[in-house]
Amino acid sequence: MPSRRPASGCATRTTGRGRAAAAAASLLVASVSAGCSGATVCPAIGWSNTLTVELGGDAAVVDRVQLCTDAGCAPAEDIDPSGPLGLVTVAEHDTDAWIFSVAGLPETFTVRALDVDGAVLTESEVAPEWTRTGGTERCGGPSEAVVSTRV
Q: Which amino acid is at 113?
A: A
Average pLDDT of every residue of the chain: 80
**pLDDT higher than 70, residue 9:** no
CA-only gyration radius of the chain, Å: 27
CB 142 within 8 A of CB 126: no
The matching CATH number, chosen from 2.60.120, 3.40.50, 2.60.40, 3.90.660, for 49-150 is 2.60.40
CB within 8 A of 143, min separation 6: which ones? 49, 50, 130, 131, 132, 133
Give the start-to-end residue ranges of the domains of the chain.
1-39, 49-150
**What are the pLDDT digits (tens) for 114-147?**
999 999 999 999 999 999 999 888 888 999 999 9
pTM for this prediction: 0.70
**What are the pLDDT digits (tens) for 19-38?**
444 444 444 444 444 444 56
Closest CA to 114 of 151, 89, 85, 80: 151
